Homo-oligomer: A and B are copies of this chain.
Amino acid sequence: MFKDLPLSKVYQLLEPGPVVLVTTARKGRANVMTMSWHMMVEFEPPLIACVMSSANYSFAALRATKQCVIAIPAVKLAPKVAAVGNCSGRDVDKFEKFGLTPVPAEHVAPPLVAECFANLECKVADAGFVNRYNLFVLEVLKAWRDPRQTKPRTIHHHGYGRFVVDGKEMRLKSRMR
């Protein structure tokens, strides 16, 4: 169902700032959260920095297991993405509650999310900034793309439930990668 995405292309998914889901797994139980504080740090192998509140149930799981999956939803999932952000894995199985389908990953224990158009299997590459900023540096080990979701439009969070959806595409002459 998912196809390989070359690691060299991962930055093209995250650099535009989409709202993402993050899955973790601990003691045999998977969880999923919503996240917007992330950025690329290196092209290849792709390094991603992300900041996760230590109040989040996922924070402890990521810190302990050093593995997660970043799953990128298109706009049709927006209501579920917001709902995932409104509750905690402490209280509820969010996969079941919101009808998200966990799919086994290849290199990590946390699951891919079947409904997302891209999934990035990650390990924590550097936890040296966690104490100070709740900032994890992740390395993407494997990237997957759903070829059936062509031209997915992502969503961007502007605070307090206001989201902006991808609009028109522009091409400009660029020497930048």
Interface residues of A (CB under 8 A from B): 9, 11-12, 15-18, 34, 36-42, 47, 49-51, 75, 78-79, 82, 85-86, 126, 129, 132-133, 135, 137, 153, 155-177
A137 to B156, CA, bound (A): 22
- Chain B nearest CB: distance from A45 CB in Å? 13
Q: Is the CB of A86 within 8 A of B15?
A: no
Decide: A171 and B163 in contact? CB cutoff 8 A. yes
Contact B169 A164 (CB under 8 A): yes
Closest to A159 in B: B12
A128 to chain B, nearest CB (A): 8
Contact in complex: A156, B51 (CB < 8 Å): no
